[in-house]
Amino acid sequence: MRLAHDISVPIRPDMHVYDDNPSVSIESHTSIANGADANVSRLALGVHSGTHVDGPRHFIDGAAGTESLSLDTMVGPAAVVDATGAQADLDAEALADLHLPEGAERILLKTRSSELWNRPSFSRDFIRLTGSGARYLIDHGVRLIGIDYLSIGDAEAHRELLAGGVVALEGLDLRGVDAGDYELVCLPIRLEGSDGAPARAVLFRT
């Protein structure tokens, strides 16, 4: 049996959410204790809560939603790359210094931001891509780029990736995962016309 690493962030009311994004609530709708036949809960959250993918519409007005993203891109071989030494946002030069695996189409960046999940609330002290970093990945044939906090990059990086057909996978928990080769299974909720979609992401060691 292959060991699975669940790299998704648990959905809960007190979880980290990006500045100005909707908070998460889980409330009882009906309960057996109050005479109902079954317990049914109501969930409210933003589509960029926790582990999620961005749709092109997130930064490109009028573009396609998350339903346009290819499942083939979100399932397959992936490389977790150790970028914990980076102290600033990742531009093209910084990515070149990481020596990304040749030909890798799915890259998950493990940065010092992983430790931010240990804090009680959202922090802006995270590592992200710059526009030149996004273009570097596109030029090297990357189809999916993931990162271990709630934003893949600045506005320029988002536009470059989404316009270039690259899936941006955000909000990963890579604290218990070593750098190396894995098989990624990332399945976003099937939302139509949405700028983002929460996802369950799992790694299997190859």
Q: What positions carry a catalytic annotation?
A: 58
d(CA 65, CA 57): 5
